[in-house]
A and B are shown apart, each in its own frame.
Chain A
Amino acid sequence: MAEQKQTQVVVLGSGPGGYTAAFRAADLGKKVILVERFSNIGGVCLNVGCIPSKALLHVAKVIDEADALSQHGVKFGKPQIDPKRLVSWKDGVVKRLTGGLAALAKQRKVEIMTGEGQFIDDHHLKVTTDKGDVTIEFEHAIIAAGSEAVRLPFIPEDPRIFTSTGALQLPNTQCNMLVIGGGIIGLEMANVYHSLGAKITIVEFMNQLMPGADVDIVKPLHKRVEKRYQNIWLETKVTAVEAKKDGLYVTFEGKNAPTKPQKFDQILLSVGRSPNGHRIGADKAGVQVDERGFIAVDHQLRTNVDHIFAVGDIVGQPMLAHKSIPQGKIAAEVIAGMKHYFEPRAIASVAYTDPEVAWVGLTETQAKAENIPYEKGVFPWAASGRALSNGREEGITKLLFDPTTQRVLGAGIIGTQAGDLIAEVALAIEMGCDAQDIALTIHPHPTLAETVAQAAEAFEGTITDLYLPKKKKSDKQRAA
């Protein structure tokens, strides 16, 4: 017979959604068990996602910046790269964070159980641990089982073909690599591999890199990588991969497809992530999971079963750690009886490529598709003293406004640190700031953050750092 345990709250999955939910529930006085199939907690984000990828991107950036300085009179030698040490440094960063999480769990008396969890009914979860099965009887459950990389059926199993998880181990950085999928994850990994010495080809099915972001915001990135990478094939897809001893032969189809199969040493598959909804016995608990594996929840993160909640990647897009975390918090709070709701007005997306690309709230693409009226204010970084000092003037800060209320509806920013800059606009959207609120907030000079205020000024027609011949009529009225 399986060992029996009882708890008030069981959390399935220890990613950002899961550990946050577990910790918050414990802080609110609940007895909590956190179930994770891997021995390290932290989920995708800490182990094979946000953190290790950013560690490698940091290295890539320093290499590129050092290289760029050679044009300004400072020359370093060619970098000597030791991938083994690099990986172990990166793993060290991850270990510190996951170890820190384990300590936080301990301080809160959150029990961590290592093993695969499956629901057996709506009040019991069976966990298969290496010491045998354990049945947990729970009052409330929070499903935070996350997502995993999508694999394409026609692509063979081969050690030279991997998803982001494999790529983070840096198996071979001196090679000719194909990146299938030009979304955020693919472009970040391409960035790392290129800086470490690989030759990169990107193939993307859609007509732009990073679908979802506005084209004008992605363009400077496209321009930069176009020069550095071997090929960027848009509106093209892979139809076959043949693994041979001397390489991987890939057949393409579409607008920019080469006629003959091309040979690569390595392939990164980054065509999206699919939720783990079908792998947790949800049906036994009566929790509805859709075909793709997503679990629908209400604004309090409740599934169709009243006492079972779900958070993070498994509940839908956007699949981002900074969405999972507040959801985990709110699910725990609702379980503890608080009347909280997950109702953000905007969630930012960030690609930590070089340059970074970030957007939040309304995009122009979306506004056009949904016929939402908007006006915009754009500030090109070529007019930013700080961007020029950094030697990186390709950035753009663009804000979208409601033409009647002048409230900010969204933003797209490209440039170094764009991911940090976007947070201000997220706050502005939540607070309902209008163009003046942003323009009149004094931003320190010279910073990249200034560009946000300058974009608002460009919209208002009060900007002096640019000369915009067409002044806005509201301003004339005001002056009259």
Chain B
Amino acid sequence: MSSQIEIKVPDLGGASEVDVIEVMVASGDRIAKDDSLITLESDKASMDIPAPQEGVVTQVKLKEGDKASQGDVILLLEALPSAEATKQSQQQTTKTETTSADANQTTEQTIVVPDIGGATDVDVIEVMVTPGDQITKDDSLITLESDKASMDVPSPYSGTMKSVVLKVGAKVSQGDAIAVIEITDAAANQAAPIQPPETVSSETATKSSTPAATPSSPTQQQTASSNEIYAGPAVRRMAREFDLDLTQIIGTGPKGRIQTQDVQHFVKQRMQAGRGVGLSVPTPPVVDFSQFGEVTSQPLTKIKRLTGENVHRNWLTIPHVTQFDQADITELEAFRQANKHHAEQQGFKLTPLAFIMKVVVKALQTFPQFNASLDPSGQQLIYKKYFHLGVAVETPNGLVVPVIRDVDGKGVLALAQELASISQKAREKRLMPNEMTGSCMSISSLGGIGGTAFTPIINGTDVAILGISRASTQPVWQHDQFIPRLMLPLSLSYDHRVIDGAEAARFTQYLADCLGDIRHLVL
């Protein structure tokens, strides 16, 4: 028996109109399951589309240069009845044990841990069902957590929970029993094969509808130094081209060797998952503005472009949160006014920023986790024993952030003077690259311009940045009346991977306290 089937382009993760760059089969070819049929290439990656089953190609519908989207017919295949195929489909349904033969009434099914990308001994960190629960297909049953990711395992059936086998803290591998479910509506469940949670293993698998599931599969332990990665030079080069971390990729070759197909598969998964490695950042539309009126264009300055790259990277890679607060600087301002002539005599200004820098360093000393950087692996926090502060300076060419070193060892006047000279240098474009590196934290002051608050983006490899807006006199309720106080708005953006909200709130509060009464500095 044979039949004609249409082989279609599978889900490309939403990508459409993708270029067909190679067609590897011709009509008359006999192909096996998983043979590559065509290669598609988007502007981010290329991938092979494998045959979903074996057969003989009767007609190829796509040719090189075509654009393909999901559902387009690639070719017509004359299917062969194959022992392999039937065995496979059998396996899928017999993966679950039927404890009752009567399919029309109620059936008991043991639900097992699905394919979790080869990971074994994975921790069960949550069990969401108890016996008696009514479950709908795809409801989450348990949460697993490997060292790479956590994921929910959805129920492949609807029914009533008979018993739950696993407990929190258990370690499981593929095939281990999770629970026994009594299926009430056997017909509705019959065709439901167990679907691996988001570890997309077959080309046509669609995304699981479990919202809590994380897209990354719990991969095996290919950590350690890159020299221990089991991959040949061609694969390592490919990973470099796609900016991939090979420790994240599961090798399917002999002894777990990472092969080119594994890298391709990984890239495709990422494309389908629609996130990660910036592969799916949408590009802005091309607009011809001249249709709306007269325009001219000018290249961005080099500083703007570099700053742009940095802020873009940090914006994408650091989970920012911004904490807002206000500091009462009435006293500080009076003190500054009273002492500014000391500076003026020496030809510079005693700015509030010099005081703020001192206060920030005091806060860094008190909260050392703010004087830190995350190492590239994201596994370690590097604490700094020095106190260098970046100060954002506006120049005609763009924003630069010179760094003032060892602020802890300098007095306010000395800082004010250094600020004046380094800002001057920045505006004259005389800053050396090493004068712009090494900051622990940065301050961006828009106080001279205006605004009530803003959300600064963290600079370099810092974990926080302090934004200063314009101070204004505001009525403050003290004792039993409103009194006018000079209030300075503070906006502290921080890296939420390193710093918790409460810590940031305390840090900002501390800044406000110290600015409110700078005698704190000598405490």
The docked-state distance in angstroms from the alpha carbon of A432 to that of B233 is 10
Complex interface: chain B residues within 8 A of A431 (CB): 232-233, 257
Q: Smallest distance from the beta carbon of B213 to chain A beta carbons, Å? A: 32
B232 near A430: Cβ-Cβ < 8 Å: yes
A432 touches B257 (CB 8 A): yes
Produce 1/0 per residue, A430-454, CB < 8 A to B: 1110100000000000000000000
* Distance of A432 Cα from B232 Cα, bound (Å): 7
B241 lies within 8 A of A339 (CB): yes
Q: Are B237 and A340 in contact (CB under 8 A)?
A: yes
Contact of A132 with B by CB under 8 A: no
Asked whether, in the complex, the Cβ of A432 is within 8 Å of the Cβ of B236, the reply is no
Number of chain B residues whose Cβ lies closer than 8 Å to a Cβ of chain A: 13
Interface residues of B in 252-270 (CB under 8 A from A): 255, 257
CA distance A341 to B242 in the complex (A): 13
Whether the Cβ atoms of A430 and B233 lie closer than 8 Å is yes
Judging by beta carbons under 8 Å apart, are B240 and A341 in contact?
A: yes
Query: B191 → chain A, closest Cβ, in Å?
Result: 43
- Smallest distance from the beta carbon of B102 to chain A beta carbons, Å? 48
Contact A345 B227 (CB under 8 A): yes
Q: A341 and B233: CB pair below 8 A?
A: no
Q: Out of B233, B240, B255, B257, which one reaches A344, CB within 8 Å?
A: B233
Min CB–CB distance A262 → chain B (angstroms): 48
Task: Check B241–A343 contact: CB distance below 8 A.
Answer: no
Smallest beta-carbon distance B399→chain A, Å: 21
Please measure, in the bound complex, the distance between the C-alpha atom of A431 and the C-alpha atom of B233, giving whole angstroms: 7
- Interface residue B231 (Cβ < 8 Å from any Cβ of A): yes
Q: Residue B230 at the A interface, CB < 8 A?
A: yes
Give the chain A neighbours of B231 by CB distance below 8 A.
432
Residues of A contacting B240 with CB < 8 Å?
A: 339-341, 343
CA distance A343 to B231 in the complex (A): 13
Contact with B along A331-352 (1 / 0, CB 8 A): 0000000011101110000000
Cα separation A109 to B316 with both chains bound (whole Å): 45
- In the complex, A378→B236 CA distance in Å? 30
Determine the residue in chain A with the shortest Cβ distance to B242: A339
Q: How far is the CA of A111 from the CA of B233 in the complex (A)?
A: 33
List residues of chain A with CB within 8 A of the CB of B237.
Answer: 340-341
Which residues of B are found within 8 Å of A340, using beta-carbon distances?
237, 240-241
How many Å from the CB of A326 to the closest CB on chain B? 10
- The minimal Cβ–Cβ distance linking A437 to chain B, given in whole angstroms, is 8
Residues of A within 8 A of B255 (CB): 434
Query: Taking CB as reference atom, which chain B residue is nearest A345?
Result: B227
Taken residue by residue from 144 to 163, chain A's Cβ proximity to chain B (1 for < 8 Å, 0 otherwise) reads as 00000000000000000000
Question: B12 to chain A: closest CB distance in Å?
Answer: 23
> Which A386-407 residues have C-beta < 8 A from chain B?
405
Chosen A-B contacts, 18 in total, with CB atoms closer than 8 Å, are: A339-B240, A340-B237, A340-B240, A341-B237, A343-B236, A344-B233, A345-B227, A345-B233, A405-B228, A430-B232, A431-B232, A431-B233, A431-B257, A432-B229, A432-B230, A432-B232, A432-B257, A434-B255
* Contact surface of B with A, Cβ cutoff 8 Å: 227-233, 236-237, 240-241, 255, 257
Q: Please give the residue numbers on chain A whose beta carbons come within 8 Å of chain B beta carbons, in ascending order.
A: 339-341, 343-345, 405, 430-432, 434
The 7 closest A-B pairs by CB, nearest first: A431-B232, A432-B230, A339-B241, A430-B233, A341-B240, A430-B232, A339-B240
Starting from the known contacts A340-B241, A345-B233, 10 additional A-B residue pairs (CB-CB under 8 Å) come to A339-B240, A340-B240, A341-B240, A343-B236, A430-B232, A430-B233, A431-B233, A431-B257, A432-B229, A432-B257
